[in-house]
Amino acid sequence: MKIDERCVGCGQCTAFCPKNAIIVKGIARITTDCIQCKICMAYCPMKAIEESA
Amino acid sequence: MKVLVIGSGLGGLLSAAWLSREGHEVDVFERLPIIGGRFTNIEYKGFQLSTGALHMIPHGPTGPLGTLLKDLEADVKIVRSRPMTTIRIPTEKDAMDYTHGFQDIEFHDFRKHFSLLNRIKLAILITTTRTFPPKSGSMAHWCSKNLNQDWALKLADSFCGWALSLKAENVPATEVFEIIENMYRYSGPGIPVGGCQAVTEALINIISSHGNKIHTSTEVTQILVENNKAVGLVADGNEYRADLVISDIGHLETSRLYDTNALDTSAASYFTAIRKLRPSAGVKICLASNEPLIEHTGVLLTPYAQRINGIDEVTNVDPSLAPAGKHLIMAHQCVQWENIGRLEEEIDLGLRDLSEIFAGKEYEVLLIQSYSGEWPVNRSSSGSDLSNRTPIEGLYVVGDGAKGKGGIEVDGIALGVRTAINDILNSN
Ligand SMILES: Cc1cc2nc3c(=O)[nH]c(=O)nc-3n(C[C@H](O)[C@H](O)[C@H](O)COP(=O)(O)OP(=O)(O)OC[C@H]3O[C@@H](n4cnc5c(N)ncnc54)[C@H](O)[C@@H]3O)c2cc1C
Ligand code: SF4
Ligand code: SF4
């Protein structure tokens, strides 16, 4: 998964990630624990999460 | 009447619940899988955090939101904060931070900390400005002109930061006096039992008990306008027709959903005004601890911290907002517009403040949430709200981009909704 510059750092994705794979501090960062389940995408109010190519 | 609502934030839900009770057919469209926008709970590590708000209603059960919820017979219990606010000040005279000890004073005792001369001045100013509010200038300007004491500006910054997520220099003094006036009129803050979600859930119940629907994961991509009148919208590729469209996503974002070129020049001043709105930015730091960090249900203002403006401990009202035996504490800091690009540094300053404010206490930082731009603390900074109407007939805007005068945060939203719905019911 990829997070783009639209991210405001609201942490909504962190709370819904089943793997606790998103660290947020001003901006969100996805860790290697990510299993590409895509759940976080739907919860982002800024549409800042994309699938990585 | 058939009404379509864009967005299920507090403004959208209040409008939908009210119109549902009046017997109208309402559909609400929400882009996210969850309902409530920036005013509902999200569970994290067993704690009931929130999508935005600090679980606090500025004027408690008797303010504009509390009253509107009562009128709608929404089933929510809002507990009044007692004391309303305490202020943490350094023990040593002339100290500029908390590192050498501090004490908490009650909000109404703050006058004691001014010099005798300023105390007399303040007493006169408070009574006269309530009757003759200053006509222009910022709150910061008012403080330095009238009181010229560092403590006055610190207190004003901490109050404006907590209540509006703005620096005192960015808030018109008139607006602050309107808020103070409202603190007398409606009284101080309160916390809903169950947190923000209790409010959201109660409104959802009203909407669905009247057979109306909230469509989640459904994004509105267009507002249909014919002869300068809103006649429906497009959501997820489907066209919906209606007599009225209410938008809860702010004036600017709403204007992107219809063709503004088709409007005549009389609308130009509206578009200039909505482009000028500046959303307020802020950071909320959620803490967990095994012991209470604040001993009461109100706000702890921290004027001597570098960044943190105020803190509440919501589990003092409702322990079920945290796992058994744990406490949930939420700290807020305003982020000035020019610092949005340096959020991590701003957050580090906030974290350092907390280690001084809670020196010697053990706590865990649960989640750091920041807000700006199109997902802000407040869509229009206080004192700059526009009306609920738009240049399009039958298209109204509610929510924190169209708050009522003098109303802050969700109480401002409730005031705005009251104006909008009365307007709608009177003209239809
Ligand atoms: C950190 C922080 C602390 C705060 N603390 C407090 C507090 O303690 N007390 C208080 O009173 N207020 C507080 N606030 C402010 C309060 O949370 C907001 O003012 C309020 O929740 C905003 O409600 P709203 O109705 O304007 O809309 P929003 O909550 O913004 O809802 C709008 C909804 O519309 C949806 N949407 C957007 N575009 C579309 C589209 N095209 N189609 C469909 N749906 C769409 C969004 O997903 C969203 O759910 C705080 C805010 C923040 C961020
Ligand atoms: S894709 Fe799934 S695992 Fe990866 S960050 Fe998003 S929610 Fe977490
Ligand atoms: S939900 Fe979106 S905006 Fe919020 S932190 Fe995650 S990626 Fe950023």
| Secondary structure (DSSP) of B282-335 | EEEEEEEESS-SSSSSSEEE-TTSSSEEEEEEGGGT-GGGSSTT-EEEEEEEEE
Domain borders along chain A are: 2-48
Instruction: Kindly tell me if the per-residue pLDDT of B130 is higher than 70.
Output: no
The pLDDT value recorded for residue B301 is 95
Confidence of residue B418 (pLDDT cuts 50, 70, 90): very high
Average pLDDT over residues B250-255: 95
Average pLDDT, chain A: 96
| pLDDT in the model for residue B382 | 66
What integer is the mean pLDDT of B417-425? 96
Tell me which of B266 and B4 has the higher pLDDT: B4
Average pLDDT over residues B104-108: 84
Say what the pLDDT of residue B261 is.
Answer: 83
Which pLDDT score is estimated for B316?
Answer: 97
Residue B181 confidence (pLDDT): 78
Residue percentage of chain B with pLDDT more than 90? 73
CATH fold of A2-48 reads Alpha-Beta Plaits (3.30.70)
Question: Cβ–Cβ of A45/B32 closer than 8 Å?
Answer: yes
Distance (angstroms) between ligand 2 centre and the Cα of A42 equals 11
| Residue A48 CB less than 6 A away from ligand 2 | no
Kindly list the residues from chain A whose CB atom is less than 8 angstroms away from the CB atom of residue B372. Answer: 8
Determine the atom of ligand 1 nearest the C-alpha atom of B36.
49
Task: Calculate the alpha carbon distances from B391 to B247, B270, B278, B399 in Å.
Answer: 13, 7, 20, 18
Nearest CA to ligand 1 atom 6: B53
pTM over cut 0.80: yes
Beta bridge partners, B280, equal B378
Closest CA to B408 of B183, B125, B84, B140: B183
Q: Is the pLDDT of residue B70 over 90?
A: yes
pLDDT at B383 over 80: no
Where are chain B's structural domains?
A: 2-45+59-78+194-276+381-427, 115-186, 281-371
Residue of the CA atom closest to atom 3 of ligand 2: A34
Per-residue pLDDT tens over the stretch B356-380? 999 999 999 999 999 999 999 999 8
For ligand 2, say whether the CB of A38 is within 6 Å of any of its atoms.
yes
**Residue with CA at minimum distance from ligand 1 atom 27:** B9
Instruction: Classify the complex by whether its ipTM is higher than 0.90, answering yes or no.
Output: yes
For the stretch A10-51, pLDDT in tens is 999 999 999 999 999 999 999 999 999 999 999 999 999 999
Distance from CA of B156 to the nearest CA of A (A): 26
pLDDT at B125 exceeding the cut of 80? no
Q: What is the mean pLDDT of chain B?
A: 92
- Taking the centre of ligand 2 as the mean of its atom positions, its distance from the CA of residue A18, in whole angstroms, is 7
Question: Which CATH number applies to B2-45+59-78+194-276+381-427?
Answer: 3.50.50.60
Question: Which listed CATH number (3.40.1260.10, 3.90.660.50, 3.30.70.20, 3.30.930.10) goes with B115-186?
Answer: 3.90.660.50
Atom from ligand 2 closest to the CA of residue A33:
3
- Selected residue with higher pLDDT from B41 and B110: B41
Confidence category of residue B131, pLDDT binned at 50, 70, 90: low
pLDDT average, residue stretch B74-99 = 91
pLDDT band at B304 (very low <50, low <70, confident <90, very high): very high
B281-371 belongs to CATH 3.30.429.10: no
List of chain A residues whose C-beta atoms are within 8 Å of the C-beta of residue B335:
none
* Facing A15 at nearest CB: one of B44, B372, B375: B44
Give just the sign of the alpha carbon dihedral B193, B195, B197, B200. Answer: positive
d(CA B217, CA B214) in angstroms, rounded, equals 10
What are the chain B neighbours of A26 within 8 Å (beta carbons)?
A: 343-344, 346-347, 368, 370
Cβ of A17 below 6 Å from ligand 2 = yes
Name the token pair of B216: 């989640």
Instruction: Identify the pLDDT of residue B287.
Output: 98
Condensed to tens digits (0 to 9), the pLDDT of residues B142-187 reads 888 877 778 888 999 999 999 999 999 998 888 888 887 787 788 8
Burial B189-224, CB ≥16 within 10 A → b, else e: bbbbebbbbbbbbbbbebbeebebebbeebebeebb
- pLDDT value at B384 more than 80: no
User: How many CA atoms are closer than 13 Å to the CA of B132, on its beta-carbon side?
Assistant: 3
Give the pLDDT confidence score for residue B165 in this predicted structure: 94
Mean pLDDT of B73-95: 92
Q: Which atom of ligand 2 sits closest to the CA of residue A38?
A: 1
CA angle A15, A17, A21 (to 5 degrees): 105
The predicted structure's pLDDT at residue B308: 98
Q: What per-residue confidence (pLDDT) applies to B184?
A: 78
Q: Do B115-186 and B281-371 show the same overall fold?
A: yes
The verdict on a CB contact (< 8 Å) between A42 and B32 is: yes
Report helix angle B64-71 to B196-209, nearest 10.
30
For residue B46, how far is the Cα from the chain centroid? Answer: 25
The torsion defined by the Cα of B284, B385, B81 and B64, in degrees rounded to 10, comes to: -140
B400 CA: nearest ligand 1 atom: 26
* Mean pLDDT (whole number) for B316-330: 97
